[in-house]
Amino acid sequence: PGDPFFEFFRRFAPPQQQREEAVSLGSGFIISPDGYILTNAHVVARGDEITVKLNDKREYKARLIGADGRTDVALLKIDAHNLPAVELGNPNTLRVGEWVLAIGSPFGFDNTVTSGIVSAKGRQLPDENYVPFIQTDVAVNPGNSGGPLFDMDGKVVGINSQIYSRSGGFMGISFAIPIDVAMQVADQLKQNGRVSRGRLGVQIQDLTKDLAASFGLKSPSGALVNSVEAGGPADKAGIGAGDIVLAVNGQAIKETSDLPRLIGAVKPGQATRIEIWRNQASRTVTVVPDELREADARSAQREAQPKQPARPAQQQIAPVGLVLADAPPQLLQRLGIRFGLVVQRA
């Protein structure tokens, strides 16, 4: 009031719209006869009220026991007994090319079944370091999220979670969370209401074939330590920049992304054996990971939308006539710098 434009906006501005309720649809499945249900975290994110509708048309109000945005897993509970529960399978026995089935409610069509094959295993997605996804070509659409992925024995091997699409619709690539990963999360949510993960306190980078050869490794398997947090668990255990992590508690690191997942599965404070490669020889050190305490805002911010592919910027860059490669951590440390590139050919 008093501003020259106040009367103008009072008369001509559209009336303020009242807040409207929105309804989100998703899928899920019963994992125990006493009413525990698994679904995706993004299906129930920001929900004020959760309703579970069973195949026999019964409806229940559900309690959210907990949700983990890093793995996109949520655990619900309804007050019911003697419910039919799914039988859990072993994703590790799945083979590429094997047939699988998805059941869900795409676009609200209840109990829709689609089929396809396993396209790949252990697939890593951007910003998804804790889930080795099962990639399939099963038709998955909005509403399928949180539904079960079955093998040919009728056992659940995954939770349908995401699709990769340029158009927003299904394009033959979908991703499921392995059921063993989901159950590890569900057990923690059931016991504590949250997920606790271990942390090393290191920055890592991919180990290329050329880098592996320069370190004396026969194959580029492992995670190259780029820097170490001062006073962190890895620093206390004697791990330094230039070391290559080969295994955690006997489990081999085949891809760089395996390290965060394996360390994340370790209970904070639990002594962990880590095999490293240093000076062209392997050695084993004992590390006591502390707890990963980064704020996980994705539980509240994640949207139930397909992943969009990154599009390269339409920009012309003049060639400079150099062939460059990442500088090895040992060289950076010797030169006293944190970042840099090595000129291989000019």
Which residues are annotated as catalytic?
A: 42, 72, 145
d(CA 28, CA 45): 14
Largest CA distance in the chain: 79
Quote the tokens at residue 231. 């006073």
- DSSP letter for each residue of 156-170: EEEEEEEEB-SSSS-
65: DSSP letter: E
Q: Which run of H or of E encompasses 150? A: strand 148-150
Nearest CA among 57, 48, 284, 307 for reference residue 173:
307
CB-facing half-sphere around the CA of 219: CA atoms within 13 A: 7
The DSSP symbol for 79 reads S
Q: Distance between CA atoms of 245 and 271, rounded to whole angstroms? A: 16
Strands lying side by side in the sheet with 59-68 = 29-30, 36-39, 73-77, 59-68, 50-53
